[in-house]
């Protein structure tokens, strides 16, 4: 490890030493164990030191094209010539990580919409692993995912997402007691320094100085209270990784079933209580307006009804 990277975070050191790897591929390399420091694995938030031997197996994180699964189920909420909006179930990954991996939402999309299949001439979007996908959801988060069917539409909607012009709303369940009827959460988020599975809300100013977090803004309102639980609508137009989950944990109201962030264990539900319920686009850039809602899954409905 060169002198100028002494004390640098592992992910940042890799990004500087192997600039051809995107941030997503760096994270994937670490998650897959394709990175070794002095022969051992290290979390992305770990620090490297002068003289450390860093080895990255670049071939393991190549952006291998996703494969089509024509018979895979797919719940389509909106289908147009330019855009598709689907309802992803909890438990299904959005896109594959490993070459040849199946069972993801992208596999099902490619099976139904062959124009999305990557070819030697190229692909729609940023990666052949998730062609056309405008935004991802965590594996255990259900709900709406927007998919562009042409490169031009992808660029328009991806830009809208980046600028916060897509109307994205979520429904979640958390503890009711002590939660105001509405509010705003502004804590910036960074990669967790000790646990690569989580993100870290920087509540104290010293954390902001130490971890260089990204700005994150979540607003919410309580839709319904039932016994110990509250059904909450949250909005986060730019929605960083785990933003809503980490923000509600930071205000001591972690999502039901979200054990990673300290949420109450709900074995009967089998997931964390977060659902991408709505996405809307006002129109522009050659893409007509749309507004799509995904109904609350039955396991979240049951959680609320059982407490009423």
Least confident range of 37-51, 207-221, 282-296: 37-51
Same domain, 30 and 118: no
Same domain, 142 and 179: no
Mean pLDDT, residues 200-225 taken together: 92
241 within some domain: yes
120 within some domain: yes
- Residue 13's pLDDT is 82
Long-range contact list for 37-45, CB < 8 A, 24+ apart? 37/10, 42/10, 43/10, 43/194, 43/195, 43/196, 44/9, 44/10, 44/11, 44/191, 44/196, 45/9, 45/10, 45/11, 45/191, 45/192, 45/193, 45/194, 45/195, 45/196
Same domain, 121 and 173: no
Mean pLDDT, residues 255-259 taken together: 97
Tokens linked to 183: 């509010």
43 within some domain: yes
pLDDT at residue 98 above 80? no
196 within some domain: yes
191 within some domain: yes
Same domain, 93 and 125: yes
User: Is the overall model pTM greater than 0.85, yes or no?
Assistant: no
Q: What is the pLDDT of residues 161-173, one digit of tens each?
A: 999 999 999 999 9
Q: What is the pLDDT of residues 118-140, one digit of tens each?
A: 888 889 998 888 999 999 999 99
Tokens linked to 89: 């179930």
| Domain end marker among 31, 57, 83 | 57
Beta bridge partners of 147: 84, 133
Query: Which pLDDT band, with edges at 50, 70 and 90, does 63 fall under?
Result: low
80 within some domain: yes
86 within some domain: yes
Q: How far is 267 from 264, CA to CA, in rounded Å?
A: 10
Same domain, 75 and 121: yes
Mean pLDDT, residues 76-89 taken together: 98
Query: Which pLDDT band, with edges at 50, 70 and 90, does 266 fall under?
Result: very high
Same domain, 135 and 212: no
Same domain, 86 and 40: no
The structural domain count of the chain equals 3
Single out the residue of 192, 258, 136 nearest to residue 202, CA to CA: 192
pLDDT above 70: percentage of residues in the chain: 95
Neighbours of 165 (CB within 10 A): 17
Q: How far is 131 from 214, CA to CA, in rounded Å?
A: 26
CATH number at residue 239: 3.30.2350.10
Q: CA angle, corner 106, sides to 265 and 149, nearest 5? A: 130
Burial of 114 (0-12, 13-18, 19+ CB in 10 A): exposed
* Cβ atoms of 252 and 261 closer than 8 Å: no
Structural domain of 147: 66-163
Tokens linked to 124: 């729609």
Same domain, 18 and 109: no
Same domain, 81 and 14: no
Averaged pLDDT of the chain? 90
Q: CA angle, corner 30, sides to 28 and 33, nearest 5? A: 105
234 within some domain: yes
Query: Which pLDDT band, with edges at 50, 70 and 90, does 192 fall under?
Result: confident
Same domain, 117 and 142: yes
- Residue 219's pLDDT is 97
Tokens linked to 192: 């967790």
């Amino acid at each position: 490890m060169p002198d100028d990277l002494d004390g640098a975070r592992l992910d940042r050191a890799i990004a500087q030493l192997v600039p051809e790897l995107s941030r997503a591929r760096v994270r994937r390399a670490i998650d897959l164990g394709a990175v070794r420091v002095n022969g051992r694995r290290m979390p992305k938030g770990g620090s490297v030191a002068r003289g450390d031997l860093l080895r990255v197996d670049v071939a393991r994180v190549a952006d291998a094209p996703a494969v089509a699964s024509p018979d895979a189920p797919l719940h389509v909420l909106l289908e147009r010539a330019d855009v598709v909006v689907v309802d992803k179930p909890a438990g299904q990954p959005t896109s594959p990580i490993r070459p040849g991996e199946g069972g993801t939402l992208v596999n099902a999309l490619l099976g139904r919409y062959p124009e999305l299949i990557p070819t030697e001439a190229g692909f729609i979007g940023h990666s052949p692993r998730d062609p056309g996908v405008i935004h991802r959801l965590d594996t255990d988060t259900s709900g709406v995912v927007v998919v562009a069917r042409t490169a031009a539409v992808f660029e328009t909607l991806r830009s809208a997402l980046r600028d916060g012009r897509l109307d994205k709303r979520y429904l979640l369940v958390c503890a009711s007691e002590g939660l105001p009827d509405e509010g705003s959460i502004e804590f910036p988020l960074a990669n967790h320094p000790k646990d690569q599975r989580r993100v870290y809300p920087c509540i104290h100013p010293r954390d902001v100085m130490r971890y260089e977090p990204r700005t994150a803004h979540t607003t919410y309102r309580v839709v319904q209270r039932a016994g110990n639980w509250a059904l909450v609508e949250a909005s986060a137009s730019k929605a960083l990784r785990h933003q809503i989950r980490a923000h509600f944990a930071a205000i001591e109201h972690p999502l039901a079933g979200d054990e990673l962030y300290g949420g109450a264990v709900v074995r009967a539900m089998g997931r964390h209580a977060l659902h991408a319920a709505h996405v809307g686009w006002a129109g522009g850039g050659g893409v007509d307006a749309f507004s799509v809602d995904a109904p609350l899954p039955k396991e979240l409905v049951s959680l609320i009804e059982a407490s009423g």
